[in-house]
Structure 1
Amino acid sequence: MQGAGAAETRGGSKPWLVQDGLWERIEPLLPVVERRFRYPGRRRIGDRRVPCGILFVLYTGIPWRHLPQELGFGSGMSCWRRLRDWNDAGVWQRLLELLLAELRSARMLHFSRAAVGSSHVRALIRALKGGPATGRSPVDRAKTGSRHHVIVDAHGIPLAVTLTGGNRNDVTQLIPLIQAVPPIHGRCGQLLRRPRRLYADRGYGHDVHRGRVRRLEITPIIARRGTGHGSGLGIHRWVVEGAVALLHWFRRLRSRWEIRDDIHQAFATLGCAIICWRRLKTSL
């Protein structure tokens, strides 16, 4: 991959190329792999190239086995193993937390309010075989799939994303989604963890869950069930719809390809981190 560093620094037309600034944030998070001297096996591909292969699959949605060898990112299976291992080591979650902290330092993160939402994605043939976190959707002709549950800040920056079966009701994931928001560093004072107000549509409109949100010291502003459209909350809720659309701009997240839910969750968390990185670049 001759000249890859220069291409990565330039390259807006190839978004899967990891830019120098992003790599400087990823590299310190990677686990150290001890070199085997007695039985070294095949030479391990460099860590700098592998994220490009992972992002190529995330952006294009191609099967791992079709990852073009001429790109120099390694084989699809090598990239898959590295995605799995780094996810197990917490790399993608820590990357997201790091970028959220930098956004806070740049005064681009606003916790005055947050919004939650979800979207159903269909499971393709491999995941239909019985992968975890799949189920028949009650709103998509009982098609088997999964749901992405997303919480964003006032400007649509994704704070957390969780994965459930397509048959799970949104309201059951309200508290777990709030609890999935990591403590955010970045400025002097207390860690950010809870927004002041939380906006949600009628799917979350149960009094029991409103009470649980209040006990977390968050003011719930949730449309009442049984009321018609036009609650007026869309003026604040549209940001979560935009964040879901950005996540699904990554072709690999438009459908559930993976049988393993941890691999799909890794892609979703990485997608959130890339969205945060794009926002952060505007302040650099």
Structure 2
Amino acid sequence: MNSDLVPNDLWERIAPLIPARPPRRHRFPGRNPVGDRTALAGIVYVLRKVVSWADVPAERIGCSGVTCWRRLRDWTDAGVWPRLYEALLVELRHASLLDMNDCAIDGSHVRALKRGAHIGPSPVDRSRPGSKHHVIVDRHGTPLAVSLTGGNRHDVTQLIPLLDAIPRIRGLRGRPRHKPKRLYADRGYDFRRYRRLVWARGIVPKIAQRGAPHGSGLGKIRWVVERTFAWLHQFKRLRIRYEIRADLHHGLLQLACAIICLRRLRSAF
């Protein structure tokens, strides 16, 4: 079961990033702690399924859902997920599987069932509380950076933060790559101020104009970001936000992006 949820190639990449547990001080410390791979299997199980942490099948996974949640909390605080994500992006660039000349950006609403940070009334869901996933992808739909905001935040507010969030991706000789040449977006991003900010970064904004008839042709390249959202929402835990802590939901989002990058590596070899 664990090998299906956490295959060897994923575990080999994440194991060096997991911080070591502090030694126990008591003479009789009790039971041995659950293995990290077992806890990671429980996290991936929850990410793929629509189950609460309390409903994680301990007899199948090997540990309780509470233990998995605690490891998710500890590893999120330790910054494991962004480092795993960036390491896989480096591998993709080293294998010449990243095409950052043309990138696309968009946002997607998700309903939130609990309180917490980055939650607001969604204008597309009758003002019900929700959040937004924002993502910027390369020409093939590989996610380069993701962010989480409240459901009432406009997509354009994450345009510059997402561009700045793209890590400096090494993997080839020369300078690390951290920005595209052209950025594609729908008409929701059509603001002069943000066009100027994109130009100032040396990026050509390919943004549909508001008020113009449809059929600009930009969708021939921009459609990959919609496919990326379909990939992300195959992880059923991301379709609805259940976590109160925004950092934990963002950590699951980054883990899903890392798995998508790993799948692309597998399909290329």
Which TM class, normalised by the smaller chain length? over 0.9
Does the residue aligned with 2:48 lie in a helix, a strand or coil? helix
Matched AA of 2:51: I
The match for 1:32 is 20
Query: In structure 1, how many angstroms separate the alpha carbons of the residues matched to 2:154 and 2:184?
Result: 17
Aligned-residue offset at 1:71: 1.2
Aligned-residue offset at 1:61: 2.1
Query: In structure 1, how many angstroms separate the alpha carbons of the residues matched to 2:62 and 2:195?
Result: 48
Query: In structure 2, how many angstroms separate the alpha carbons of the residues matched to 1:276 and 1:203?
Result: 27
Which range is displaced more, 154-163 or 65-74? 65-74
Matched, 1:61 2:50: yes
Matched, 1:165 2:159: no
Query: In structure 2, how many angstroms separate the alpha carbons of the residues matched to 1:114 and 1:283?
Result: 20
Matched AA of 1:22: L
The match for 1:111 is 100
Query: In structure 1, how many angstroms separate the alpha carbons of the residues matched to 2:82 and 2:31?
Result: 29
Matched AA of 2:153: R
Query: In structure 1, how many angstroms separate the alpha carbons of the residues matched to 2:63 and 2:180?
Result: 42
The match for 1:146 is 131
Does the residue aligned with 2:20 lie in a helix, a strand or coil? coil
Matched AA of 1:277: L
Query: In structure 2, how many angstroms separate the alpha carbons of the residues matched to 1:186 and 1:71?
Result: 38
Aligned-residue offset at 1:228: 2.6
Query: In structure 2, how many angstroms separate the alpha carbons of the residues matched to 1:50 and 1:169?
Result: 36
Structure 2: tracts of 5 or more residues without a match? none
Corresponding residue to 2:174 among 157, 168, 189:
189
Matched, 1:276 2:265: no
The match for 1:14 is none
TM-score calculated relative to the size of structure 2: 0.96
Map Cα deviations across residues 111-133 of structure 1 (whole Å, 9 max, x no partner): 11100011000112xx1xx3110
Map Cα deviations across residues 209-264 of structure 1 (whole Å, 9 max, x no partner): 00001111111110111223222111010000000111011000000111111111
RMSD in angstroms over aligned alpha carbons? 1.2
Q: Percent identity?
A: 54
Does the residue aligned with 1:95 lie in a helix, a strand or coil? helix
Superposition misfits of 4+ residues, deviation over 3 angstroms:
none
Matched AA of 1:37: R
The match for 1:74 is 63
What aligned pairs does 1:82-101 form with structure 2 within 5 A after superposition? 82-101=71-90
Matched AA of 1:225: R
Structure 1: tracts of 5 or more residues without a match? 12-16
Query: In structure 1, how many angstroms separate the alpha carbons of the residues matched to 2:93 and 2:145?
Result: 15
| Aligned 8 A contact 2:41 2:61 in 1 | no
Map Cα deviations across residues 164-209 of structure 1 (whole Å, 9 max, x no partner): 0000001111001111111111111100100110000000000100
Matched AA of 2:44: L
Corresponding residue to 2:121 among 107, 130, 136:
136
TM-score calculated relative to the size of structure 1: 0.91
Query: In structure 1, how many angstroms separate the alpha carbons of the residues matched to 2:102 and 2:229?
Result: 17
| Aligned 8 A contact 2:132 2:150 in 1 | yes
Aligned-residue offset at 1:72: 3.3
Matched, 1:47 2:36: yes
Query: In structure 1, how many angstroms separate the alpha carbons of the residues matched to 2:104 and 2:73?
Result: 30
Matched AA of 2:257: C
Map Cα deviations across residues 65-97 of structure 1 (whole Å, 9 max, x no partner): 000011133111110111111111111100010
Does the residue aligned with 2:36 lie in a helix, a strand or coil? coil
Matched AA of 2:228: A
Matched, 1:18 2:11: no
Aligned-residue offset at 1:43: 2.3
